[in-house]
């Protein structure tokens, strides 16, 4: 994951250097927290609920004019779900030795292509929307962090969906800005492999994050 982050950052810096003289480019870092869940059959939805989620990413935006812009980048999003009921473990003799909360952990590298528009006083408010592709990095079921079961074979390697956000950008300096954004991710494709043999229904990703960021305008 660290190598991927440095590679993506290097690509963005190269892009920034190429267009630095135009005055239309912004490059930023962002981080946030929120909730994630999986959508499936009604029976599956009765068994799971939302889990805590985190987000970290880098992005570049290109101003088309004083209102409209395009944005792309890459972000690490922890998706998945939490089981509604706790799981009880037993020793070899069948004696209970602990009750734990079970989580499905699906970290993704998401790459969006978003169109944005600025509005409001001084055009500090903005909205973004567009498609994304997500690449599954790993998959584990954990029990309050005590045990982990590798489940990557049960899931497709890619996810496609749409993303949308509403935020505000505040100037920190002539070239620096600070952003606060509420962003929603809606998966549109089935991420569960039909031939996994685990009896999983079709599953789709959901996530919502409160994200803060800083950017630099070239």
CATH classification of the domain holding 208: 2.40.160.20
Which tens digit of pLDDT belongs to each residue from 171-206? 998 899 999 999 999 999 999 987 655 556 789 999
pTM (2 decimals)? 0.85
Mean pLDDT in order along the chain per 10 residues (218 residues): 54 54 84 96 89 97 95 97 82 74 95 97 94 97 81 95 98 93 97 69 94 96
Number of domains making up the chain: 1
Report helix, strand or coil for 64. coil
Structural domain including 32 reads 2-19+26-217
* E strand segments, the chain: 25-39, 48-49, 51-63, 68-83, 87-90, 96-100, 102-119, 125-136, 140-143, 148-150, 158-171, 176-187, 204-217
Report helix, strand or coil for 86. coil
């Amino acid at each position: 994951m660290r190598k991927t982050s440095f590679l993506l950052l290097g690509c963005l810096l190269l892009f920034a250097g190429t267009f630095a003289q135009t005055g239309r480019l912004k490059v930023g870092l962002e981080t946030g927290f929120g909730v994630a869940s999986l959508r499936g059959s009604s029976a599956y939805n009765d068994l799971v609920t939302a889990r805590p989620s985190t987000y970290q990413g880098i992005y570049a935006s290109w101003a088309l004019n004083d209102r409209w812009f395009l944005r792309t980048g890459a972000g690490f999003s922890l998706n998945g779900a939490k089981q509604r009921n706790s799981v009880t473990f037993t020793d070899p003799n069948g004696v209970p030795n602990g009750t734990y909360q079970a989580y499905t952990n699906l970290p993704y590298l998401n790459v969006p292509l978003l169109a944005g528009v600025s509005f409001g006083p001084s055009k500090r408010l903005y909205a973004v929307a567009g498609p994304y592709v997500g690449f599954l990095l790993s998959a584990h079921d954990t029990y309050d962090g005590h045990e982990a079961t590798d489940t990557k074979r049960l899931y497709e390697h890619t996810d496609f969906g749409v993303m949308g956000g509403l935020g505000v950008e505040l100037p920190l300096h002539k070239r620096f800005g600070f952003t606060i954004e509420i962003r929603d991710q809606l998966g549109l494709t089935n991420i569960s492999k039909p031939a996994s043999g685990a009896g999983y229904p079709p599953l789709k990703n959901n996530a919502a994050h409160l994200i803060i960021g800083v950017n630099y305008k070239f």
